[in-house]
Amino acid sequence: MQRFPCPFCGPRPETEFHFMGEAGKIRPKTTQAISDAEWATYLHSQRNEKGTVREVWMHLTCGEMFIMIRDSVTMEVLGTETLRKDAS
Amino acid sequence: MGAYSAWSVFKEGLRDGRGWRQAWRTPTPKKHYDVVIIGGGGHGLATAYYLTKNHGITNVAVIEKGWLGGGNTGRNTTVIRSNYFYPESAALYDLSVQLYEGLSKDLNYNVMFSQRGNLVLAYSEHEMEMAARQYNAMRLNGIDAELLGPNEVRKMAPILDFSDTARYPIHGGVNQPRAGTGRHDAVAWGFARAADQAGVDIIQNCEVQGFVMEGGRCVGVETSKGEIGAGVVGAAVAGHSSVIADLAGYDLPITSYCLQAFVSEPLKPILDTVVISPAFGTYVSQSDKGGLVIGGGLDRVPSYAQRGNMPVQEAVLGGLVEMMPALAKVKLLRHWGGIVDVTPDSSPIIGPSGVDGIYLNCGWGTGGFKAIPAGGYLLAHCLATGEHHEISKPFNRSRFETGQLVDESAASGIPH
């Protein structure tokens, strides 16, 4: 079993994590008119890269979401980043 | 190259097989083809074959970065079925089953399609109700189906756990008698040989590295063996669909995952049908060599690594042992993974890519093998006429924009 590093809890078994989606997708502003194509792209299109990927994952046991950078071919984890900003 | 037959096998047997010739050529690519197909798996080769057979287009190249059938065509669990819920899917997958039924004769190559049935098990009252719903949907779609009680299931597959101590007793199931298994490599090789004989150039070890564009239209591909001009391009590259899309400049609603499969040591005949349990997330059949061919759900991590991870192995094999406790001590012989292209509605994408001159056959997810003849048949129709066949119309990529999805993820047996 592979271990993924939660930036809050440290390395934990991969079954504790859930893939949420690709990082960097921005929801179109729904206060303005959005074309069907734009909305469909936001909902469904994926970069689905071969190689280095930036993804949002959730550590189910602590409930925190974070960014994981990994290689989709070798499955090596290259780093993680918290999504939380420092309160200060 | 003569036709294969019982007589030719006998004749060659008498002279040590010296008369056999290679089944297809290894040509150097021409400067230009009417149609270039990317991907020398089942779908790509079938597309080439049906272009020659149905449309009389023979100036065709199939470009494969590795070797024929080295991707998912050689990595699947060989199940062929059309027990789908929605009429659109049933029409698509049953076209495939019908083509498979005549394929060995059509290709003059034994693809060993064995219509041994596909039995979806129900382990609770609720699952039994869903089984009845599935049965009704199939009958309405014109697909053969049988709703079975526990005794009938026992007759079909006595190796299942019918003991009093079974944790989950079997309530019944739905069988599709015309479903079954085929010989996956033979499907690739048969299509390759028949296409080659009709004049198609199959170019292996040739990777597509870019597209040649002219006035917004794709007019060729750049490959590791140089530039090849194309009247029109078809892409049938399964798990690598997004990689090709990125090179050509269109986007796709696809996520690539690893799907694992397993085969056990050879056993005496214990199972002469395909059994699948949605509750356990496991399905199994027995090959002609005696090995149990076992499959299950997807890995949970998006991946281009053609190998799986442990948690899914545990779930699939645990499910198998729960279904058939007699197999607990059977050893595995091999285990492998393939990269599948999963769409939001678990239905394929066939038709225009969004870039002029490039057509798609992708998004089959976990069930591409069963669809090979239909996928080839329908993509060939698109490439030859520029228009959809009636059956492939609902699978155009525009459905993600209109919202008219063919959502088989909720209707199929195994979680996608």
Distance of CA A31 to the CA centre of its chain: 26
Per-residue pLDDT, averaged over B271-297, amounts to: 96
The DSSP bridge partners found for residue B226 are B223
Task: Give me the DSSP letters along A13-81.
Answer: EGGGEEEEEETT--PPPTTS---HHHHHHHHH-B---SSEEEEEEEETTTTEEEEEEEETTT--EEEEE
| Cα A69 from Cα A55, distance rounded (Å) | 6
Model confidence at B414, pLDDT cuts 50, 70, 90, reads: low
| Cα B203 from Cα B225, distance rounded (Å) | 9
Question: CB-based burial of residue B251 (10 Å sphere; 0-12 exposed, 13-18 middle, 19+ buried)?
Answer: middle
| Cα B87 from Cα A88, distance rounded (Å) | 58
The reply to whether A41 touches chain B by the CB within 8 Å rule is yes
| Cα B270 from Cα B320, distance rounded (Å) | 14
The reply to whether A14 touches chain B by the CB within 8 Å rule is yes
Asked if B297 and B331 touch (Cβ cutoff 8 Å), the reply is no
pLDDT in tens, B323-356: 999 999 999 999 999 999 999 999 999 999 999 9
- If one counts every other C-beta atom within 10 angstroms of the C-beta of residue B180, the result is 24
Percent of chain B whose pLDDT exceeds 90? 95
Q: To 10 degrees, what angle do helices B125-140 and B87-101 make? A: 70
Q: Which of B252, B303, B347 should one mutate to test binding to chain A, selecting the residue with the greatest count of A CBs within 10 A?
A: B303
> Closest chain B residue to A74 measured between Cα atoms?
B305
| Cα B149 from Cα B196, distance rounded (Å) | 48
| Cα B173 from Cα B127, distance rounded (Å) | 9
> ipTM of this predicted complex?
0.94
Q: Is the pLDDT of residue B216 over 50?
A: yes
User: What is the predicted pLDDT for the residue at B1?
Assistant: 52
Question: CB-based burial of residue B176 (10 Å sphere; 0-12 exposed, 13-18 middle, 19+ buried)?
Answer: buried
Per-residue pLDDT, averaged over B179-203, amounts to: 98
User: What is the predicted pLDDT for the residue at A85?
Assistant: 77
Select from A2, A44, A72 the Cβ nearest to the Cβ of B344: A44
Per-residue pLDDT, averaged over B26-55, amounts to: 98
Structure tokens at B215: 């006035």
Give the predicted TM-score (pTM) of the model: 0.96
Select from B304, B311, B344 the Cβ nearest to the Cβ of A50: B304
Select from A14, A72, A74 the Cβ nearest to the Cβ of B311: A14
B389 Cα to chain A: minimum distance (Å):
24
Select from B253, B302, B311 the Cβ nearest to the Cβ of A19: B302
B111 in the Ramachandran plot: left (φ > 0), alpha (ψ -120 to 50) or beta?
A: alpha
User: What is the predicted pLDDT for the residue at B391?
Assistant: 98
Q: Do A55 and B302 touch (CB under 8 A)?
A: yes
Alpha carbon of B343 to those of B241, B275, B351: distances in Å? 11, 25, 15
Q: Which of B343, B362, B350 is nearest to B390 (CA)?
A: B350
Per-residue pLDDT, averaged over B293-320, amounts to: 93
Q: To 10 degrees, what angle do helices B372-385 and B42-55 make? A: 50
pLDDT in tens, A3-51: 999 999 999 999 999 999 999 999 999 898 999 999 999 999 999 999 9
User: What is the predicted pLDDT for the residue at B342?
Assistant: 95
Asked if B316 and B299 touch (Cβ cutoff 8 Å), the reply is no
A58 Cα to chain B: minimum distance (Å):
12
Interface of chain B against chain A, CB under 8 Å?
240, 242-243, 246, 251-256, 300-305, 309-311, 344, 400-402
Model confidence at B415, pLDDT cuts 50, 70, 90, reads: low
Select from B242, B311, B400 the Cβ nearest to the Cβ of A48: B242
Model confidence at B416, pLDDT cuts 50, 70, 90, reads: very low
Q: Is the pLDDT of residue B177 over 80?
A: yes
User: What is the predicted pLDDT for the residue at B408?
Assistant: 87
Q: Is the pLDDT of residue B79 over 80?
A: yes
B219 Cα to chain A: minimum distance (Å):
25
Q: Is the pLDDT of residue B413 over 80?
A: no
User: What is the predicted pLDDT for the residue at B412?
Assistant: 55
- Any idea what DSSP says for residue B270? -
Q: Do A72 and B302 touch (CB under 8 A)?
A: yes
Mean pLDDT of chain B: 95
Q: Which residues on chain A are in Cβ contact (under 8 Å) with B300?
A: 14-15, 18-19
Q: Is the pLDDT of residue A84 over 70?
A: yes
| Cα B145 from Cα B154, distance rounded (Å) | 17
pLDDT in tens, B99-128: 999 999 999 999 999 999 999 999 999 999
Percent of chain A whose pLDDT exceeds 90? 90
> Closest chain B residue to A46 measured between Cα atoms?
B253
Q: Which residues on chain A are in Cβ contact (under 8 Å) with B405?
A: none
Q: Which residues on chain A are in Cβ contact (under 8 Å) with B306?
A: none
B8 Cα to chain A: minimum distance (Å):
45
User: What is the predicted pLDDT for the residue at B130?
Assistant: 92
Q: Identify the residue with better confidence: B232 or B410.
A: B232
